[in-house]
Amino acid sequence: MKKILITGAAGFIGCHLALALAGRGDQVTGIDNLNDYYDVKLKNDRLERFAPHGNFTFRRIDIADRKAMDDLFHEGCFDVVVNLAAQAGVRYSLQNPYSYIDSNIVGFTNILEGCRHNGVAHLVFASSSSIYGMNAKIPFSVHDNVDHPVSLYAASKKANELMAHAYAHLYGLPCTGLRFFTVYGPWGRPDMAYFSFTKAILEGQPIDVYNHGNMKRDFTYIDDIVESLVRVIERIPQPNPDWNKENPDAGSSYAPYKLYNIGNNQPVDLMKFIDILEEKLGKKAVRNLQPMQAGDVPVTYADIDDLAADVGFRPTTSIEEGIGKFAAWYRSYYDTV
Handedness of CA 126, 276, 141, 306 (dihedral sign): positive
User: Residue 216's closest CA among 140, 315, 329?
Assistant: 140
Alpha carbon separation from 193 to 9, 31, 200, 283 (Å, rounded): 22, 26, 10, 17
Exposed/middle/buried for residue 157 (C-beta within 10 Å: 0-12, 13-18, 19+): buried
User: Length of the chain in residues, anyone?
Assistant: 337
Compute φ and ψ for 301, nearest 5 degrees: -160, 115
SS3 of 308, please?
helix
Under 8 Å between Cβ of 28 and 81: no
Residue 153 annotated in active site: yes
Give the CA count within 13 Å in the CB-facing half-sphere of 191: 14
Under 8 Å between Cβ of 310 and 316: no
Instruction: Please state, in angstroms and rounded to a whole number, the distance separating the CA atoms of residues 100 and 103.
Output: 5
- Residue-wise DSSP of 179-199: EE--EESTT--TTSHHHHHHH
Instruction: Please state, in angstroms and rounded to a whole number, the distance separating the CA atoms of residues 62 and 260.
Output: 26
Compute φ and ψ for 98, nearest 5 degrees: -65, -30
Instruction: Please state, in angstroms and rounded to a whole number, the distance separating the CA atoms of residues 120 and 118.
Output: 6
List Cβ neighbours of 199 (8 Å cut-off, separation of 6 or more). 190, 205
Instruction: Please state, in angstroms and rounded to a whole number, the distance separating the CA atoms of residues 99 and 84.
Output: 16
Check 37, 38, 153, 194 and give the catalytic one.
153
Among all residues, which ones are annotated catalytic? 153
